[in-house]
Structures are given as C-alpha cells and as structure tokens.
Amino acid sequence: MKLLKRPKESLILLLTLILLVSMTSFSIVQVITNLLAGVISCLLFDAFFLKLRKIKLFKLSAAFATGLILAILISPSAPLYVFVTASLAAMFSKNFIRLKNFHVFNPAAFGAFTSLIIFNIPISWWAVSYSLTPALITIIGVGYITIIKLKKLPVLVSFYTALIITFLLLNVPLQAIFDYTAIFFVFVMLCEPMTSPNKKTLQLAYGGLAALLSFTLPAELVKDPVIFSLLLVNGMGFYFERVTQKI
C-alpha cells in the first residue's frame, strides 16, 4: 500500500498496465523486446550519466517511467536502435539540459522527438490511440495522481478550455476533445511534475498554450506538433518559474 502512495511508483504501475492491455494489437514478443530495450537503456544511461556528474546513485524510478513512456509512444515495429537512441537522448536531457536541481524538458518527449528527427520514424502513440481501456486507466488512475497528489488541475482545465475554443474557431467537431492520444498527453506528459509549473497562474498559461500549439503548429514544419508543443511550453514554463525566480 505504501507503494501506491508514491506518485512515481504508482505511475510506473499504471503505465505498465496500459502496455499490458495494449500489446495484443502487436506481436507480444516484439512489444516486450522493445519495452525492455527502452527501459533497460534508460536505466543504464541514467546510471552512467549520474556517475559522470558524480552524483550518488539513487532510485531510478524516473528513468524506469521514461522507458515505459517511450515504449508507449514509439511503435513496436520500429527498429531496436530507435528505442536505444530515444533512451540515450531522454537521459541526456534529464541529466545535462538542466539548471541546478531542475531539468528543462520532459525526458520522454525529448527522447522521442530526437529519434523522430534522426530516423524520421513517426511517433505513433500506438498504446494509447486506439482503445478506450488505456484512456480510462489514464483518466482514473493517472488522473488521481495528477489532480490529488501533484495538484495539476489548473493545467487540465486550461488545456481543455483552450482546446474547446480552438476547435470551435477551426470548426473541428467537439467530440475530438475525447481523443485518446490527447488524454494521455495531457494527464501523463504535460503534467509531469519536474517539467510543469507549480504556480497556478503559470499552470493555466502552460496548459492553455500547449493546447493551442498542439493543434495549430504545422506538422510539415515541426514533425510532431503535440510533442514539439510540449517541449516549447516546458522551456517557457522553466524560464518563467525557475530562471526569473532565480531558482
């Protein structure tokens, strides 16, 4: 029971559950192979980079969660080296693109986007795009962590408010707000505690801007508007909450 009270460990269990209920759509051997490649690579690269930084090795739950998210984002049919490269980039950003105690970018988003740029293999969101069950796990399980434990409700409210306004302006059917990919994106990735703001006013701006950018940035320019928008608002949130406040 103590395990379920810790947000990061609870998230790992929920991400694992999402993968388990989604893997029947692909070869189970392929899913497990690439899942292990992502998770083990993240753990090894994180441990190696911590050693380079001369930081005592501690729980690598963040690296574990990052590996699981990469396995959810990147298609199981992608070559193994894509997962390894994404894991390397993710852990590099976590350890070195930072200021004092805070890293700037969501590691999984940075890793997935890097692999997209290098190999031009689209981010598929395969495990959360096609089925209601992963969306329900995200809303109920991750939602509890996000709203109750991490207190990120303003991010969710502003994201979906801006999304509805954007859809109305662009004449997009409102049922699109229930898009399964968007649910995982906002509950898991946008609200990641280390790279999302803590101040409520910044949370409102952060969530609203992410929604606006996600559905207005041209894909031909930024490759993946959703992931690119996350990296942009990560940087902006970091600047206004960490840098201007002198950390």
pLDDT band at residue 1 under the 50/70/90 scheme: very low
**Mean of the pLDDT values across residues 53-82?**
93
pLDDT one-digit tens code per residue, 26-63: 888 989 999 999 999 999 999 999 999 999 887 789 99
> What per-residue confidence (pLDDT) applies to 178?
93
Longest dimension (CA), the chain: 53
> What per-residue confidence (pLDDT) applies to 5?
62
> What per-residue confidence (pLDDT) applies to 23?
86
Q: What is the mean pLDDT of the chain?
A: 93
pLDDT one-digit tens code per residue, 26-36: 888 989 999 99
Which residues are CB-contacts of 120 (< 8 A; sequence separation ≥ 6)?
none
Q: How far is CA 33 from CA 107, 141, 157, in A?
A: 21, 26, 37
User: Which of 51-60 are b and which e, b meaning 16 or more Cβ less than 10 Å from the residue's Cβ?
Assistant: eeeeeeeeeb
pLDDT one-digit tens code per residue, 99-150: 878 899 999 999 999 999 999 999 999 999 988 999 999 999 999 999 999 9
Assess whether pLDDT exceeds 80 at residue 96. Answer: yes
Give the residue extent of every domain in the chain: 3-243
Whole-structure pTM value: 0.94
HSE toward the beta carbon, residue 33, CA cutoff 13 A: 13
Contact of 173 with 179, CB cutoff 8 Å: no
